[in-house]
Structure 1
Amino acid sequence: MTDGKVATPPKYNINTWINLTTLVSIIAGGGYAWAQTNSDIDELKRWRVAVEGRLGNADGKIEERFKVNEVELRKLDNLSYRVTVAEQSATSISQAIKELQITASGQSGDLRVMREILQRIEAAQKQR
């Protein structure tokens, strides 16, 4: 007949159930955390691409502004040179005008003397 051993179902105590529940929870939580991390990484990659695109456009605009500013600065340098040349020309012209005034004043005096001489000559001729 039978040996006297009756098959009894295995008994699981509460600690076994707690450990199994904890293990399943840890695995599920790890999977969830992994999925969230991958999702966050993908979102950050998309954000980075968008920001780099905007910064690339901004850098291009800044470079264009620098080029325009350099052209304007060259114009200002040229203008500064032109103003300096114009000032030097004005100084030269002013000096020439002063010299001309001095010469004209001297000639005016000479003309007076010549007129007086001519008047004396005419007077002497009339008296003769």
Structure 2
Amino acid sequence: MSEEKPMHRPKFRWEWNINTIAVLIGFASGLVAWGWTLKELQSGRQVNSQNIERLDLRLTKLEADARRLDNHELRLGNVEKQASDAAAAMRAVEGTLNGLAADMRVTREILQRLEAAQRGREP
């Protein structure tokens, strides 16, 4: 028969094969993409936080303005009511003055008649 040769372990050879290079580049680019994505998420959260603070300040200012407008609306309503009441009071005063003027005319006529009657009686 034939003689058996002893088996030897194959020698290690350091070779760069195209698949190894592609896998290493893919792994490195995956790490870079992961880092970039994490940075973008953190910067996006920071921008959103700033926007929320800005919107909160605007909302607070708008609420204060709304309260001020409600206060002005209440005051204007009171002024309009007072003006309406004043107009009604002026109409009442005008009515009273017209009545007094009529009474004054009647009183003047009476006085004129009395004076005329006294003149006519005196010699």
Question: What TM-score do the two structures reach when normalised by structure 1?
Answer: 0.77
Instruction: Identify unmatched segments of 5+ residues in structure 2.
Output: 6-14
Give the one of 66, 69, 74 matched to 1:73. 66
Deviations 1:31-51 (A, max 9, x none): 221111111010111111112
Q: Percent identity?
A: 25
Number of the residue aligned with 2:12: none
CA distance in 2, matches of 1:38, 1:94: 82
- Deviating beyond 3 angstroms after TM superposition, the runs of 4 or more aligned structure 1 residues are none
Residues 2-21 of structure 1 mapped to structure 2, 5 A cutoff: none
Partner of 1:15: none
Higher mean alpha-carbon deviation, 76-85 vs 27-36, is at 27-36
Is the partner of 2:37 in helix, strand or coil?
Answer: helix
Structure 1: which 5+ runs fail to align? 8-20
Q: TM-score, normalised by structure 2?
A: 0.80
What secondary structure does 1:51 align onto? helix
Separation in 2 of the partners of 1:51 and 1:126? 108
Match of 1:117 in 2: 110
How far does residue 87 in structure 1 lie from its aligned partner after superposition? Answer: 1.0
Match of 1:28 in 2: 21
CA deviation string 1:16-71 (max 9, x = no partner): xxxxx8x9433332222111111101011111111211121111111101100111
Count of aligned positions:
110
What is the alpha-carbon root mean square deviation over aligned residues?
2.1
CA distance in 1, matches of 2:95, 2:111: 24
Pairwise CA distance, 1:118: 0.9
